[in-house]
Amino acid sequence: MKKIKQCNRSPEMRHYKRIARRLTLAFFATIFVLLSIFILIMLLLERHGISFHSGTFSAFGSISVYIISVVLASAVSYFAVWNIFRPLSDISKGAKKIAHGDYSVRLSYKGRVKELAESVENFNYMAQELSSIEMIRNDFIANVSHEFKTPLSSLNGYLTLLSDDSISESERKEYLSKAFFSIEKLNDLTDNILRLSKLENQVTLDAPVTYRLDEQLREAIVLLEPKWSRKNISFDLEMPEITISGQRSLLFQVWTNIIGNAIKFSDTGGCITVKLERSPHHYKIYVIDEGVGMTDEQQRHIFDKFYQADSSRQSQGNGLGLALCKEIVSRCNGKIYVTSKPGEGSVFLISLKTTKEG
């Protein structure tokens, strides 16, 4: 019976009861402390031969001490409850709301206790960060679902067409190749998502390997040969011998992505320059194309997951390549920069800190 009664109380009632309990507690605690101090002082004075045990002064003194104690205790308990317990209780209530998925909660504190002001500020910061993480997560899920849906539905379409016995041999070949293209797209997408998530969750990277950076860049260009020869693209290479100690396989993904993009966004017959330089503190790798280029707005977003500026080439990628490159380069203590102009081409610069092997 008692339990049921307690459950029926509103949260506000419980909150005010809790405050009242704390107020009473603080009040009596302060009176106790003040009276103890008073008695201690009296005892000390008595030991030094000063006594107030007789006369009107003693009675007047005791009453004033009681009154002062009560006033001070009231002030202290008011201060404690309204300045300390209430913000703490607000923080606790806010944390509960966040735990239930309401990231919009924000607190305000007008008191002067620095630690509490900081706690409230940090709470609001945490709520803001959690809400943007939640937004990114939701966007990510929506993007992944969308990116999976497109090749899956074309795969479904081509397989339906292939199941028709009346199609010609050339049609069969065409539908098969398109079905394989969709499978390849799905494969690239899952590969990139897995690589990105592995990298984002990996606390320490593998031990660095010592190798020739210029040779690795050449290997990436050779690997992409089917793509550039199909478009009759030529390469201008300026790469002195440079040995580095670094994340070999991760950096290989960066070169294939960035050079692959330069090929993808170049016109037929275009030229791509790959330049390797060494300054006192950095290795600089430039990938320069004369392709479609990008506006300033597009350049601001190209490292965002799933962003694709050029809608006409959306089927050729998934918008994760540069996000992955940025993550890899930053995990290798490097930076990646882009400058571009629509219709004139783009320059990607990757700057890595020099290592003693170089």
Residues 76 and 85 sit within 8 Å (Cβ to Cβ): no
Cβ of 259: how many Cβ atoms within 10 Å? 23
Q: Which is nearer to ligand ADP, 83 or 299 (CB)?
A: 299
Separation CA 282–CA 335 (nearest Å): 10
CB of 310 to ligand ADP, least distance (A): 4
Continuous segment of H or E residues that includes residue 76: helix 55-79
Q: Which is nearer to ligand ADP, 246 or 291 (CB)?
A: 291
Separation CA 23–CA 72 (nearest Å): 13
Binds ligand ADP by CB under 6 A, chosen from 318, 327, 329, 334: 318
In angstroms, the first-to-last Cα distance of the chain is: 80
Torsion angle defined by CA atoms of residues 309, 315, 321 and 323, in that order, rounded to the nearest 10 degrees: 50
Binds ligand ADP by CB under 6 A, chosen from 321, 327, 334, 351: 321
CB of 149 to ligand ADP, least distance (A): 17
* Residue ranges in 202-331 assigned as alpha helix (H): 213-223, 225-230, 248-264, 296-301, 321-331
Q: Which is nearer to ligand ADP, 277 or 304 (CB)?
A: 304
Q: Which is nearer to ligand ADP, 164 or 344 (CB)?
A: 344
Q: Which is nearer to ligand ADP, 277 or 310 (CB)?
A: 310
CB of 326 to ligand ADP, least distance (A): 9
CB of 226 to ligand ADP, least distance (A): 17
Report the residue count for the chain: 358
Tokens representing 169 are 């041999």
The 3-class SS string of 212-227 reads EHHHHHHHHHHHCHHH
Planar angle of CA 108, 111, 112, nearest 5 degrees = 130
Mark 130-169 with x for binding to ligand ADP (rule: CB under 6 A) and - for no binding: ----------------------------------------
CB of 342 to ligand ADP, least distance (A): 9
CB of 174 to ligand ADP, least distance (A): 24
Torsion 295-301-303-308 (CA) sign: negative
Residue 319 binds ligand ADP (CB under 6 A)? yes
Residue 270 binds ligand ADP (CB under 6 A)? no
Three-state secondary-structure class, residue 294: coil
Q: Which is nearer to ligand ADP, 94 or 321 (CB)?
A: 321
Residue 308 binds ligand ADP (CB under 6 A)? yes
Binds ligand ADP by CB under 6 A, chosen from 292, 328, 332, 350: 292
CB of 282 to ligand ADP, least distance (A): 22
Residue 322 binds ligand ADP (CB under 6 A)? yes
Residue 276, φ and ψ in degrees, nearest 5: -120, 130
Give strand ranges (E) for 132-172.
none
The rounded Cα 330 to chain-centroid distance in angstroms is: 14
Q: Which residues, numbered 240-269, are part of the site for ligand ADP (CB under 6 A)?
A: 257, 261-262, 265
Size of the site for ligand ADP (CB under 6 A): 22
Separation CA 196–CA 91 (nearest Å): 35
Residue 288 binds ligand ADP (CB under 6 A)? no
Q: Which is nearer to ligand ADP, 30 or 257 (CB)?
A: 257
The rounded Cα 53 to chain-centroid distance in angstroms is: 70
Residue 213 binds ligand ADP (CB under 6 A)? no
Residues found near ligand ADP in the complex (CB under 6 A)? 257, 261-262, 265, 289, 291-294, 302, 307-310, 317-323, 346
